[in-house]
Amino acid sequence: MRFLFIETCQVLAVGLAVALVVNQLSPRGLRLGRDYFQESVRLTGGTTAVAAAPVLPWPQVESLKRLPEITANEALALFQDPRRAQGQVIFVDARKQTVFQEGHIPEAYPLDRFYPDQDLPSVMLAGAAAEQVVVYCAGGLCEDSHYAGLQLIEAGLDKSRIRVFAGGFTEWTAHSWPVERGERGSGLVSNPLP
């Protein structure tokens, strides 16, 4: 029993050492001295409140810059832009695949930021030829569009071409603008523009 305990401790020590070295060498490694939990702020009267500081492990917080945002009217103008039919303007939907299937901006590319491997190659191919890439999610407090935009930049897309439609799909549908159901390019479009 004693031998098993010693061997287990040795395996754990070697595993910890390897993990620390890999973490230190990785560009996405965790900073061990950073507080990844929201800081508590002591208020008068002995109560504690939680500060509204974001806890964002990817990418490093210091390099996180919000991408330029556009309004609903600017998104609609880009949607109606003749360059969109030529692939010079593309829309990227950063919501989950199941939600994308229920409805999205017509001809938008799906890119679930939590599972990008499936759709990232086709988005990168289209984005490489596009002059403008509009990324959106649900809108409101949803930050998935910013994260998806940063994933595109990390994959090699030029940051100057990426815009985030901050109002997202919620604002798009509130205006009763076109919505496509099913796969990208399915043709199942409701509320077509005149």
Given a cut of 80, whether residue 9 has pLDDT beyond it is: yes
At 127-184, the pLDDT tens digits run 999 999 999 999 988 889 999 999 999 999 999 999 999 999 999 999 999 999 999 9
Which sequence spans correspond to the domains of the chain?
61-190
- Asked whether 94 and 113 are in contact (CB, 8 A), the reply is yes
- Asked whether 100 and 188 are in contact (CB, 8 A), the reply is no
CA distance 114 to 117: 9
Band the pLDDT of 15: cuts 50, 70, 90. Answer: confident
What pTM was estimated for this model as a whole? 0.67
Closest CA to 116 of 58, 165, 70: 58
Closest CA to 168 of 147, 133, 141, 130: 141
At 48-78, the pLDDT tens digits run 333 333 344 444 433 445 799 999 999 999 9
pLDDT at residue 100 in the model: 96
CA distance 86 to 180: 19
What is the CATH number assigned to the segment(s) 61-190?
Answer: 3.40.250.10
